[in-house]
Amino acid sequence: MAAHKETKAWTRDGFMISMDPSLVPIASLNKAFDSEEMYWAKALPEPAVRETLEHSWCWGLYSPTPSPPATADAESSDHAATLHEIAESVHKPSQGSDQSTEEPSLIGFARAITDRVTFFYLTDVYVLPEWQGQGLGKWLVSCVQEVVEDMPHLRRSMCITGESKESRAAKFYKQLMNMDAITEGITVLSAKGRGNTF
């Protein structure tokens, strides 16, 4: 049997993706929910965010620094130590309620609603605009797809975009997750709830 999904983590060039929902800083996530880039979401009360994290599979994308480097040549001589700093701080066992512990810097996120066996619905995928253009979104979704491929009884994985089936987003999910727009043979029904924003 595969390892419990929440324990999975990936690292690359000092960045880390973790499925541990306890690492997700709720204030940072809510700020992203309220941004124009996440047109499909809005900030939620903290208890509601906690509940969504507890009942979903989550992928948090964390940076080794709070903001992107200004230039590529601005790297310090101890670059390797800096790059692995985030992984070390995130994997440290908690020592009680140490107030000096900094939260990891959440720069991207993805969430799946799933029964963990047959169905997988991907939502809330984003990378902060200032971190885009570095392949981090592709890496994030590739990590999501790695988990999807570890579901031997999966019947369907889905996501909804607010764009046409020829859009950049549709091509992105086709390339990375083999998703296609449903064009014939089935009808997808939905009802908009009070939290719907598009």
Query: Mean pLDDT in each 10-residue stretch from start to end of the chain (198 residues)?
Result: 65 95 95 88 93 96 79 40 42 42 84 96 95 96 97 94 76 89 81 83
Q: Considering only CA atoms, which of 74, 78, 136 is closest in space to residue 105?
A: 136
Buried/exposed code over 130-154 (b: 16+ C-beta within 10 A; e: otherwise):
ebeeeebbebbbebbbebbeebeeb
Q: What is the pLDDT of residue 153?
A: 98
- How high is the pLDDT of residue 82? 38
User: What is the predicted pLDDT for the residue at 70?
Assistant: 59
**Residue 72 neighbours by CB distance under 10 Å:** 6
pLDDT of residue 79: 39
Q: What is the pLDDT of residue 76?
A: 40
pLDDT at position 39 is: 84
pLDDT in tens, 18-49: 999 999 999 999 999 998 888 888 899 999 99
